[in-house]
Amino acid sequence: MATEAWTTSDAILGTAELGPETKVFAAQTLRNKIINDFSEIGEQGALSLRDSLVTHLRNARRGPQPLITQLCLSLADLAVQLGAWTNPFVDMTSSFLSDPESVSCLLEFLAVLPEEVLNERIVLTSDFFRQRSNELLTNRAGDLIQLLVQCLQQTDLKPDTHTRVLVCFTSWLKNGEITLVMVQNTPLLELAFAALKADDDSLFDTAVDAVCGIIYETRSENDDDPNSAQAKNATVERVLVPQLNGIATQMRGDQNVADGDEERIRGYCRIFAEAGDAWVQRMVLNMGVFEGLVSALVDCMRLESLDAIAMLFDFWNNLADRTLEYTASCDPARRSLVTVFETIIDIIIIHLKYPATYDTNEMRGGMTAKERDEFREFRHNIGDVLKDCVCVVGQSKALLHPYNIIVAGIEGNVQLPWQDIEAALFALRAMGAEISPSENEMLPKIMDMFARFPPHPKLRYAATLVIGRYTEWTYEHPQYVQFQLNYIAEGFKMREVAAASAQSLKFLCQDCARFLAEHWADLLKFFNEIVSSNTLDEGDVIEFSEALAHVVSAVPEPSTSSAIESFCMPVGQELGALLQKPEFGESEKQRISLLLDRLGVFLRFLYVENNEPAEMLLSRIINESWPLVNLTLQRLGSDTLVSESVAKFVRVLVEFYPNVLRPIVPQVVDAAVAGFQQTGLGIYLWLGRRILNVHHNLAAEESISLQLVTQMVEKMSEAALALFQGTQFSDIPETTEDYFRLVERAVETAPGYIINMLTFPYVFQAAIAALEVNQFHAQLSVINAWSQILNPTKRHIRMMHSSRSTTQIASSPAGAQGAPPPSAVAGSSPASSSRTQHHRNIRLDTYPVEQIVDLCVKHGFDLSVKLLYGLMRQFDREAVSDAADVLTSLTAIVSEGPLVTKAQFDAPPLPTMCEWVQAILSQVPDNNYSAADKQALLKALDEHIQGRHWLRVKAVVNDFAAAFWRRNLGNK
């Protein structure tokens, strides 16, 4: 059947009576066979196929074009792989150049050749790829230029020949085979720029590609010799800059641009962005020559296509950096560029304006939700350019631009649309990162201006955010604190402004807490009023709670304790009252969740170190809150919203109040375990991981804390294993992800404890099965867990082999402090026997190499199956490298581990992995991966294993995965 596909397709192409659609399909079939099954036909068969394809191409020279393209692609793919075809360029030129009607076929073949050399679906060894790339492209670049110039000068060719020459030239240029020196004295440069005047969109796009490629070749490189650098500069200034000045004039008068033709606008912006990026340093050092180009870049920024002008953002950033690096404030170039950047500020503020249709319903011609999201993202991105402008122009001068617009809007005779004023306010906020807290010229005027601001909700929202952005400045100018506090507080009374008020109050309280400390009671009263009015969203309530925490932290004793109690006690009382209800509706659940979040964020940002009365009060509050938290878990632990709030609250206690929590840590751990056992929710596994992260703070001795978290992990593992038995991993990706993240962290934290758990062999097997999960983040968490289990073992085996010693290496700081005997930990049992029997007692302060080796030998084949099939078809491409690393570690462990643990240091590595891989590959059909390729893989694998070249083993695995994926991409 495989042979028939070749012969049938070839026969169809040679049958004159058949229609073009049938022939195009046959050509596509042949191309796929050449890419995927080239080894089926052998060298002589491939040469015969080449001759046949050349004949078919000659016969198809009058079209249709899709057939010509498919035949050229087939020939190019054949040329890439067929080393016996020694000179495709000369052979194809000889066959097609003499016939004017056939030249277009030759140009099409040469145009697709560079792309096919880089076709990832074609599997080549690195050495053969380099050799073939040189033979087909690098060594023929000069001949190609001569050929293209000849075609331009030949008068008897088809009318579209110049277009095809440009396409071919662009293809080789983009591939990097043609340099500027090779074409600077040829008509190809003029052809590329002339084609930009074409009305045909396809030709214009090709010309844009060509011009961008030409410009790219003029970039200054660090390794350019002086002569090369001088030649590039001369070409840029003598040839390319005048051409681009002409293109700028063309762009300004192009009716397509005036009509908003998106593709034309993008094309022009691409060209000027490429030139700006390539020549930015030259511009700063020689503004006289490049003034026209800078002006063109400014005009590009005026265009209405937001996607197109986004191409220029990196240029303005680079130009600002180079301006500051290479010019002094008194230089004429600096003065010119300051003017340029001031113009850019004004242009950006125009682009920041919300469209008139922003809030209009989509059904009535307004923006879609996606378009609104994209516009918001654009505003933030272009705001970064404003920061660059501030650096060059100077902070006060830059602030003056939006200030003038705002003043004109609120005090001028002509009423500006709210969008104009809001855009200027956004610009003020975007500039904030580059404005010094000591700025005294413009910011006082801006802050004073807010007292006269109109009550428009969108303007109030934007102005409130500006205040929040400049709270560090306010700290240096405390006379504005009271006004800003009042201004923000008024915003809470407007639903449209409340979110901005919450955010800005948080920043004001964070940066200016010392000036607000005396107002803590008023703030708390106001907070309670606002919360009870239900005008704030939950997120705003949380931000307000954080703001209060910052202020209370600055309250001096004896008022600190009173302030803490005033916030915490009402929350605890309301929470206790809610938990006494016999049943909970959704509103009660949401309220309980919000109360826990409020208390948690308050404790998270409260700072009372060295304040003994406050610390004692907090200790009492936390101890009194724990029964309420525990009751919440017992009654609502299965509710997703409430359980997440409980977990976040406990995480705050664990990470920020470990000393206070120490007496009840066992209860906290038991609650987390019980929560997962009873609900199977991943949030409890997340909490377990957080506890692991800070375990050393939770007990007076680390050995005790390690026992505690080991028991936690073991009990959670028992529950997880029971859950996994009756469920597909892909049906519970979140739980799978959270559990194996816990395993990864646990093995990293205490390998001697975790790997010696009674449940660990079952965890090992579950981790093998979990590799089948099809959700990316869950998949990656399983692979990362395997990395943490196997990679350290591989390293320890290497060290043991190098030192020719079976003495185990300390695994964690627990070893230095003295680990408890194995019997002190639930589920551990010492291994008996002596050194002469090549077994060692299990010690928790050493890395458990032998246990991992035993598990890998016992279950390694199953793990290899999952890893290899995952690399072939299952794993996300971003996970392949990590998975290959896991398979490499497994290979090292099963090859050397059994020998090293028995002190057989001089024995060659075991062939275990080669045997496993051979067995696995025998189940892979040859049409997916050929028998020859399988043998080559096994040979390379065996060679590198015997040489203990583990990095090369990983490279072989990565290459196999890439090759299999490329070869079978069309079959997926």
DSSP calls for 209-223: HHHHHHHHTT---TT
Of the chain, the percentage scoring pLDDT greater than 70 comes to 93
Which tokens is 631 given?
């009751």
Range from 123-132, 163-172, 242-251, 519-528 carrying the lowest mean pLDDT: 123-132
- The H or E element that residue 598 is part of is helix 586-605
* Nearest by Cα to 189 from 242, 134, 139: 242
pLDDT of 181 reads 79
Q: Which residues pair with 846 in a beta bridge?
A: 810
pLDDT of 819 reads 36
pLDDT of 840 reads 34
DSSP calls for 613-666: HHHHHHHHHHHHHHHHHHHHHHHHTT-HHHHHHHHHHHHHHHHH-HHHHGGGHH
14 or 684, which is more confident? 684
Q: Radius of gyration of the chain from Cα atoms? A: 36
| Half-sphere exposure (Cβ direction) of 579: Cα atoms closer than 13 Å | 23
pLDDT band at 759 (very low <50, low <70, confident <90, very high): very high
Q: How far apart are CA 739 and CA 907, in angstroms?
A: 39
pLDDT at residue 913 tops 60: yes
pLDDT of 469 reads 96
| pLDDT tens per residue, range 933-967 | 899 899 999 999 999 999 999 999 998 888 888 77
Average pLDDT value for residue range 329-335? 85
Q: Which residues pair with 810 in a beta bridge?
A: 846
pLDDT band at 761 (very low <50, low <70, confident <90, very high): very high
Q: How far apart are CA 833 and CA 839, in angstroms?
A: 6
What are the angstrom distances between the C-alpha of 747 and each of 261, 784, 811?
Answer: 58, 11, 10
| pLDDT tens per residue, range 557-606 | 889 999 999 999 999 999 999 999 999 999 999 999 999 999 999 999 99
Determine whether 357 is exposed, middle or buried from the number of CB atoms within 10 Å of its CB (0-12, 13-18, 19+): middle
Average pLDDT value for residue range 83-87? 91
* Nearest by Cα to 36 from 85, 81, 86: 81
pLDDT of 865 reads 95
| pLDDT tens per residue, range 91-114 | 999 999 888 888 999 999 999 999
Q: How far apart are CA 432 and CA 452, in angstroms?
A: 22
Residue where the block lists tokens 């309220």: 591
Residue where the block lists tokens 């005090």: 411
Range from 365-369, 427-431, 519-523, 678-682 carrying the lowest mean pLDDT: 365-369
Mean of the per-residue pLDDT values for the chain? 88
Q: Residue 213 CA to chain centroid, in angstroms?
A: 27
Report yes or no: 291 and 340 within 8 Å, Cβ to Cβ.
no
pLDDT of 362 reads 57
Report yes or no: 467 and 432 within 8 Å, Cβ to Cβ.
no
| pLDDT tens per residue, range 469-487 | 999 999 999 999 999 999 9
pLDDT of 561 reads 93
pLDDT of 252 reads 93
pLDDT at residue 199 tops 50: yes
For the four alpha carbons of 560, 563, 566 and 569, in that order, the dihedral sign comes to: negative
DSSP calls for 33-76: HHHH-GGGTHHHHHHHHHHHHHHHHHHTTT--HHHHHHHHHHHH
Average pLDDT value for residue range 447-464? 90
Average pLDDT value for residue range 669-683? 95
3 state SS for 177-191: CCCHHHHCCCHHHHH
Report yes or no: 741 and 778 within 8 Å, Cβ to Cβ.
no
pLDDT band at 221 (very low <50, low <70, confident <90, very high): low
Of the chain, the percentage scoring pLDDT greater than 90 comes to 61
Single-letter amino acid code for the residue at 801: H
| pLDDT tens per residue, range 228-287 | 677 777 778 888 899 999 999 999 999 999 988 999 999 999 999 999 999 999 899 889
Count Cβ atoms below 10 Å from residue 259 Cβ, excluding itself: 9
| pLDDT tens per residue, range 796-844 | 999 888 887 766 555 544 333 333 333 333 333 333 333 233 333 334 4
321-324 long-range Cβ contacts below 8 angstroms, 24+ apart: 321/388, 322/280, 322/281, 322/283, 322/284, 323/284, 323/392, 324/391, 324/392
Report yes or no: 660 and 619 within 8 Å, Cβ to Cβ.
yes
pLDDT of 829 reads 32
pLDDT at residue 627 tops 50: yes
What are the angstrom distances between the C-alpha of 59 and each of 23, 55, 67?
Answer: 12, 6, 11
pLDDT of 232 reads 73
122 or 650, which is more confident? 650
Average pLDDT value for residue range 400-406? 95
